[in-house]
Amino acid sequence: MRLLMLGMLKKPMHGYQIMCRFKECSKGDYMPSTGALYPQLRSLEEEGLIRCSEINGKKTYAVTKEGEEYLSKNEKLVRQTMTRFIEFWSENDLGILVSRMESISKTLMAGAAGALESGSGQDLKKIERSKEILARAEEELKGIWV
């Protein structure tokens, strides 16, 4: 994330603009939280790679001379990191996998919310069936990834 932020700061930006840039690069699927973004910005500032200044009452972040030198020395790594980030969110197999995980999560959350509201015995059966499906899927996925 640090390299991506540093690479994105070719022009001065506010924190929210950086967050929106992540969202744009991920085709709307990822926007870092303030809790993820600002500690990284502070760290980059402490290292002297970026500077923070206040313009019109808003903190603006820009790459320093040291940051430009770092980007220049690590140009290939920065480019590769940005390419991997964009490809991750594109319509390749990994992007499709992430989309399916998000879709399953939304389906389960909607079902759970409905079950909480209704409290019917039919929902208990759906919950048990869902737990069984997820347990099997988890075991199969562990066989692939772990």
DSSP element (H, E) containing 14: strand 13-14
Over the stretch 74-104, which tens digit does the pLDDT of each residue have?
A: 989 988 888 887 777 666 666 677 778 888 8
Residue type, 131: K
Over the stretch 108-144, which tens digit does the pLDDT of each residue have?
A: 888 888 887 877 667 888 888 998 999 999 999 999 9
Mean pLDDT for 52-67 is 92
What is the percent of the chain where pLDDT is above 70? 94
pTM: 0.59
Please choose, from the candidates 64, 56, 59, the residue with its C-alpha nearest in 3D space to the C-alpha of residue 9. Answer: 64
What is the percent of the chain where pLDDT is above 90? 38
pLDDT at position 93 is 66
pLDDT at position 122 is 74
Find tokens 């059966």 and name the residue: 125
